[in-house]
């Protein structure tokens, strides 16, 4: 038997996570200040600006937004790793969560001329016990990928299915797909596929890692099917607790 003392490795690992967490926190405040100043400039609150100035400030605003997204992703990752990503489940209408996320992408969908469809279930879904904020984030990460990695004019479909004791969600796109030889790394931290990098798409490689953690913390499963240049479908399930009242109704 060989025993290997990993105390030091564990300590270094913890210090690294703490360092990322601290730096991310420190960066958040100045980035917010920059955001609000740029917003005021763009809205003309600080005086009139020319069309050209507006264009440049607009681009700076977008870059700043991307930095804020990255910081938020990093904070979520450190919370997951330190076991501080706590869940506050409440009984909720799951379809409303999906609809909320879809609404936030309406402009993006229009801008990219994406043919978008939301296939709901015929019968009303039972309520599920989820952390609404985090479940929105998981759905948002999947839909964001489907839209980002699909060229203009492509198709994105979200479908819901309800089967006995679980809800199944599928986010399907006709985008760039994920190369076969890289598929097993898709849910790891900071992973970005070579074809996505080549196309200069924006991303941090943290969205799916976070989504997987959220889904699994809710007792669900997440997986995908993908073919390069053809498209991808990301699936996840959520268990539905049979409620006592429903049980009584059926008696």
Order the strands of the 231-239 sheet from edge to edge. 115-119, 155-163, 166-173, 231-239, 222-227
CB of 32 to ligand ADP, least distance (A): 21
Residue 167: Cβ within 10 Å count = 21
Q: Which is nearer to ligand ADP, 175 or 220 (CB)?
A: 175
| Helix 207-217 × helix 51-81 angle, to 10° | 40
Q: Which is nearer to ligand ADP, 37 or 201 (CB)?
A: 201
Is 187:209 a contact under the CB 8 Å cutoff?
yes
Which of 208, 188, 197 has its CA nearest to residue 137?
208
Q: Which is nearer to ligand ADP, 139 or 146 (CB)?
A: 146
Cα distance between residue 1 and residue 242, in whole Å: 48
Q: Which is nearer to ligand ADP, 21 or 145 (CB)?
A: 145
By beta-carbon distance, which residue lies closest to ligand ADP? 203
CB of 31 to ligand ADP, least distance (A): 18
Q: Which is nearer to ligand ADP, 98 or 178 (CB)?
A: 178
Is 114:135 a contact under the CB 8 Å cutoff?
no
CB of 46 to ligand ADP, least distance (A): 33
CB of 245 to ligand ADP, least distance (A): 38
CB of 203 to ligand ADP, least distance (A): 2
CB of 177 to ligand ADP, least distance (A): 6
Q: Name the burial class of residue 1, with classes exposed (0-12), middle (13-18) and buried (19+) by CB atoms within 10 angstroms of its CB.
A: exposed
CB of 96 to ligand ADP, least distance (A): 23
Cα distance between residue 7 and residue 199, in whole Å: 42
Is 77:17 a contact under the CB 8 Å cutoff?
no
DSSP-based three-state secondary structure for 88: coil
Q: Which is nearer to ligand ADP, 226 or 240 (CB)?
A: 226
Which of 139, 157, 144 has its CA nearest to residue 201?
144
Q: Which is nearer to ligand ADP, 125 or 211 (CB)?
A: 211
The contact set with ligand ADP (CB under 6 A) reads 141, 145-146, 149, 173, 175-178, 186, 191-193, 196, 203-209, 232
């Amino acid at each position: 038997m060989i025993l290997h003392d990993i105390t030091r490795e564990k300590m270094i690992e913890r210090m690294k996570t703490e360092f990322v967490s601290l730096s991310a926190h420190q960066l958040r405040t100045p980035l917010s200040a920059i955001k609000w100043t740029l917003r005021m400039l763009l809205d003309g609150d600080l005086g009139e600006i020319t069309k050209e100035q507006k264009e440049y400030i607009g681009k700076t605003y977008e870059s700043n937004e991307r930095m804020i997204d990255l910081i938020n992703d990093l904070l979520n990752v450190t919370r997951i790793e330190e076991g501080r990503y706590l869940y506050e489940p409440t009984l909720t209408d799951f379809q409303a969560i999906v609809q909320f996320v879809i609404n936030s992408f309406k402009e993006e969908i229009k801008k990219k001329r994406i043919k978008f469809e939301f296939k709901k279930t015929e019968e009303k879904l039972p309520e599920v016990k989820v952390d609404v904020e985090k479940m929105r984030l998981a759905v948002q990460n999947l839909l964001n990928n489907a839209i980002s990695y699909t060229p203009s004019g492509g198709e994105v479909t979200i479908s819901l299915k309800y089967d006995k004791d679980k809800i199944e969600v599928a986010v399907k796109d006709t985008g760039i797909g994920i190369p076969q030889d890289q598929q097993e790394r898709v849910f790891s931290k900071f992973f970005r596929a070579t074809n996505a990098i080549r196309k200069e798409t924006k991303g941090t490689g943290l969205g799916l890692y976070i989504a997987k953690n959220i889904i699994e913390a809710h007792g669900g499963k997440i997986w995908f099917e993908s073919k390069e240049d053809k498209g991808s479908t990301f699936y996840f399930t959520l268990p539905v607790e049979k409620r006592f009242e429903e049980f009584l109704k059926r008696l």
